[in-house]
Amino acid sequence: MSTKTTKRKRAGAAATDTATPPSSVEIAAVAACSAPTIGLSSNITVKDAAALKDVLVRLLDEPAVVAIDAKSVERIDTAIMQLLCAFVRDRAERSLAVTWSGTPSALLDAARLLGVGSLLALPANS
């Protein structure tokens, strides 16, 4: 019985010691004259929410226009849409802008289904 307990503890300890897995959310390096860009992966789901939130929080008060590059999004879930809505709303409250680089049908469909197209400030001609 004590052997099983030891194995469980070791497995739990090993899980906490591993490095953070690569994220599906990327932030482009900010050059002196370019705006920061948040790159979304093709399949961005709730498992990516914590990493996305960290990036969004760091850029919340960024004075430059923040671009969200969504051109490769093929699947996006509600948790990610909620984070993006909160980010766009909070930046708008601070009179700071967010632009979209690419608005694929997966993103537009999700925004339409959730009724958040205007909140996300998606381009009208998409």
**Which residue's structure tokens are 């990516």?**
48
| pLDDT of amino acid 34 | 73
Q: What count of other Cβ atoms lies within 10 Å of the Cβ of residue 116? A: 19
Residue 31 has pLDDT above 80, yes or no: no
pTM of the predicted protein model: 0.74
- One-character DSSP codes across 12-33: HHHHHHSPPPPPSEEE----TT
Query: Who wins on pLDDT, 28 or 112?
Result: 112
Q: Is the model more confident about 108 or about 26?
A: 108
Q: Domains, the chain, ranges and CATH?
A: 21-114 (3.30.750.24)
Tokens of 30: 């900010």
| Mean pLDDT score, 36-56 | 95
Instruction: Enter the DSSP assignment of 46.
Output: G
Asked whether the predicted pLDDT for residue 11 surpasses 60, the reply is no
One-letter amino acid at 20 equals T
